[in-house]
Amino acid sequence: MKLKLILKDGTEVIGKSFGYLLKKDEFVDGEVVFNTAMVGYSETFTDPSYRGQILVCTYPMIGNYGIPGECKLEAGLSKRFESMKVHPRAIIVSEYCKEPSHWESRKTLQDFLIKHKIPAIEGVDTRALTQKLREHGVMLGKIAPENAKYSKSMLFSDPNESNLLDEVSVTKKTILKPKGKSKATVVLIDCGIKHNIIRSFLDRDVSIIRLPWDYDLSSVKEEYDGVFVSNGPGDPVSADKTIESMKWAMKEDKVIFGICLGCQIMGLAAGAKTYKLKYGHRSANQPCTEEGTSRCMITSQNHGYAIDEKSLPKGWKVWFRNANDGTVEGIKHKTKPWFSTQYHPEASPGPEDAAYLFDEFIDHIEKR
């Protein structure tokens, strides 16, 4: 069976289906984006930040090492994935490998996508498609059967206009404990968190109070030492309840750390503005420089929005900057223990240059 990608500008790309089979008149809408990582598709596809998107993989062969077993740890955490669901609405690749080879492989990527009802297309010139997205920016698109016809009256659903946080966040408060003796407790606001962030805290003997994105932070009765705001999908301004919680945490002089969407939320709570990037940063090899130093780190990223540097209020400064395009990759307060990064210091798979930031967060807590 063949499927078609229809972009909002009328561009049509046809390829062979290797995922979930769409019905005759079935369409899948999403924002078409690209990721340049060479490895890590199982982690990428289970990253909640890709919710609502049609993901184009630029690496020429996908599926060559299969999918590992879907083992779970306590509290529903995955040992191998970033969540227990596949979040992109569709996958597009140049070549799909039908016969994977890896000692931990338990199923093919095709079987994995079919299980999670995710359509996928192979045989596409992903280089040309990526070049188009770089020139024109991310675009809305549809995955449809081959015989579907484009028309100017065709409606394209924008996932950023819906509440994606409700789809990826937890629904109730839970408490997670490390195996060893807990040396601190952190409130974690879950906007669609990657499981490796949670593992990064538990591995450092930090207890977690995990909250839904819209939970009123001021109503938490348990004692805690710091506040963390996670990654997640969509336009950061839609995270209004989380922004209010962040403002409250600042008013109460809490120690605060944010990653990805959490960085944008920190900026908005401080009074800055955010904007949408032309085609986003989605890869495992983005260089970021630390302001005022000669340090450059290779980082893993997945975001489509950024903080407007010029809108940062007095008392705040840019902490990290993207070495490719100069955009803000981290902010911090000049005197308060409030800091965040746009990239992912917990990256799995990917570089771990910035994993020390979790230790810095814990050090700030222990100094209180």
The yes-or-no answer on residue 346 being catalytic is yes
What is the rounded CA–CA span in Å between residue 44 and residue 326?
25
Which residue among 191, 260, 263, 288 is the active-site one? 260
What is the rounded CA–CA span in Å between residue 327 and residue 289?
11
Which residue among 281, 303, 344, 364 is the active-site one? 344
The yes-or-no answer on residue 303 being catalytic is no
Which residue among 31, 82, 122, 346 is the active-site one? 346
The yes-or-no answer on residue 344 being catalytic is yes
What is the rounded CA–CA span in Å between residue 346 and residue 99?
30
CB 362 within 8 A of CB 339: no
Nearest to residue 295, comparing CAs of 329, 337, 271? 329
Distances (CA, A) of 58 to 37, 41, 191, 362: 8, 11, 27, 37
Distances (CA, A) of 282 to 5, 26, 48, 366: 20, 28, 13, 34
What is the rounded CA–CA span in Å between residue 227 and residue 217?
9
Using CA of residue 258, residue 261, residue 264, residue 269, what is the dihedral sign?
Answer: negative
Residues involved in catalysis? 260, 344, 346
